């Protein structure tokens, strides 16, 4: 094995080009050595149309970062693990919770790392929020996660198709933070999904969650926001309010700002991935995806105005 972890990025769309490429470039011990995409190439890097071609004809690699849509990721992860490559899964880790279990077994068998990444957990205020809340009794949580789908997901028609997650595509980022910062697991009690009359996936959702102690967690996800996005998790605690604002970039303890930083999430994510591969460990936390699946199972649907981009 070479000194650096040789990584191929698979699925060279927006998130790969905007986040993964610069993060790998900034990560000591990581090297981007190939790009796999049916269409898009990167100047100066070997390019392959699919993962099989890379494994057959390409340069040696140690790991793949799967940035393809969730619907095809499981098959690619299975191929990569069978070839004994480490696998980083973009979020959400798959289209179904059940499809990840065999991948965990495959990673174990191959002696390689499977990392179900949740990029929002690496926002700079998330770990400080977790530590702050660890010593508190939380009495209520309110999540407001609203953004303009036309601004943040232009041309992504698949997001409103079945299996495309709809507003849960950003909403799962909030759930990935929530499940990281709360000291106890939460579960879904009630969900209402607002589905455009001409689409299959929800454009807005209201969730009621709870932990075993009964503290209510209420989440509002909405794609119909105009103007600036709102990405906030507000916790009421026995020692005053704790607010995680700006998508995990700002932390307030009552009226005191504890963290306010614009640090990128992906470099920290890659540092952790490298540590996992070095330690021969996997990290597959399916809790955020489970909450989404449960919301779809028990949620009430109501139809709202058709959505045209």
Binding of a second copy at residue 186 (CB under 8 A)?
yes
When binding is defined by CB under 8 A, the residue of 301, 305, 306, 309 that contacts a second copy is 301
When binding is defined by CB under 8 A, the residue of 45, 72, 83, 287 that contacts a second copy is 287
Find the part of the chain contacting a second copy (CB under 8 A) among 27-35, 55-63, 70-78, 121-129. 70-78
- Minimum Å gap between C-beta 2 and a second copy is 30
Site string for a second copy, 99-138 (x = CB under 8 A): x-xx--xx--------------------------------
91 is catalytic: yes
Closest C-alpha among 76, 54, 44, 42 to residue 8:
54
- Site size toward a second copy (CB under 8 A) is 35
Which residues on adjacent β-strands are paired with residue 303?
195
Binding of a second copy at residue 197 (CB under 8 A)?
no
Cα 262 to Cα 264: distance, rounded to the nearest angstrom: 6
Cα 190 to Cα 162: distance, rounded to the nearest angstrom: 21
When binding is defined by CB under 8 A, the residue of 162, 239, 257, 275 that contacts a second copy is 162
Binding of a second copy at residue 95 (CB under 8 A)?
yes
- Minimum Å gap between C-beta 174 and a second copy is 15
Residue from 85, 91, 109, 140 carrying the catalytic annotation: 91
- Minimum Å gap between C-beta 287 and a second copy is 7
- Minimum Å gap between C-beta 21 and a second copy is 29
Closer residue to a second copy in complex, CB, 31/83: 83
Binding of a second copy at residue 183 (CB under 8 A)?
no
- Minimum Å gap between C-beta 15 and a second copy is 20
CB 130 within 8 A of CB 178: no
Closer residue to a second copy in complex, CB, 78/234: 78
When binding is defined by CB under 8 A, the residue of 40, 41, 52, 98 that contacts a second copy is 98
| Residues with catalytic roles | 91
Q: Which residues bind a second copy (CB under 8 A)?
A: 71, 74, 78, 95-99, 101-102, 105-106, 162-163, 184-189, 200, 211-212, 287, 290-294, 296-301
């Amino acid at each position: 094995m070479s000194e650096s972890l040789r990584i191929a990025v698979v699925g060279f769309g927006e998130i790969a080009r905007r986040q993964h490429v610069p993060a790998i470039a900034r990560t000591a011990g990581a090297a981007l050595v190939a790009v796999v995409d049916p269409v898009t190439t990167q100047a100066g890097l070997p390019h392959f149309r699919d993962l099989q071609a890379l494994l057959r004809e390409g340069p040696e690699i140690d790991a793949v970062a799967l940035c393809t849509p969730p619907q095809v990721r499981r098959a690619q992860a299975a191929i990569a693990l069978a070839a004994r490559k480490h696998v980083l899964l973009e979020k959400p880790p798959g289209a179904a919770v059940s499809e990840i279990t065999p991948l965990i077994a495959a990673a174990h068998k191959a002696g390689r790392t499977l990392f179900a990444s949740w990029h929002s957990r690496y926002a700079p205020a998330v770990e400080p929020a977790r530590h702050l809340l660890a010593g508190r009794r939380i009495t209520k949580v309110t999540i407001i996660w609203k953004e303009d789908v036309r601004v943040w997901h232009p041309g992504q028609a698949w997001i409103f198709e079945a299996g495309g997650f709809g507003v849960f595509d950003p909403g799962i980022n909030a759930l990935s933070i929530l499940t990281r910062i709360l000291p106890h697991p939460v579960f879904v009690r009630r969900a209402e999904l607002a589905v455009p009359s001409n689409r299959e996936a929800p454009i807005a959702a209201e969730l009621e969650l709870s932990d075993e102690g009964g503290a209510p967690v209420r989440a509002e996800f909405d794609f119909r926001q105009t103007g600036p996005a709102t990405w906030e998790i507000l916790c009421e605690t026995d020692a005053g309010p704790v607010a995680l604002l700006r998508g995990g970039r700002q932390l307030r303890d009552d009226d005191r700002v504890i963290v306010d930083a614009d640090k990128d999430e992906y470099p920290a994510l890659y540092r952790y991935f490298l540590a996992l591969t070095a330690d021969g460990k996997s990290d597959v936390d399916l809790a955020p995806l489970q909450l989404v699946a449960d919301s779809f199972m028990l949620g009430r649907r109501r139809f709202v105005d058709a959505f045209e981009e």
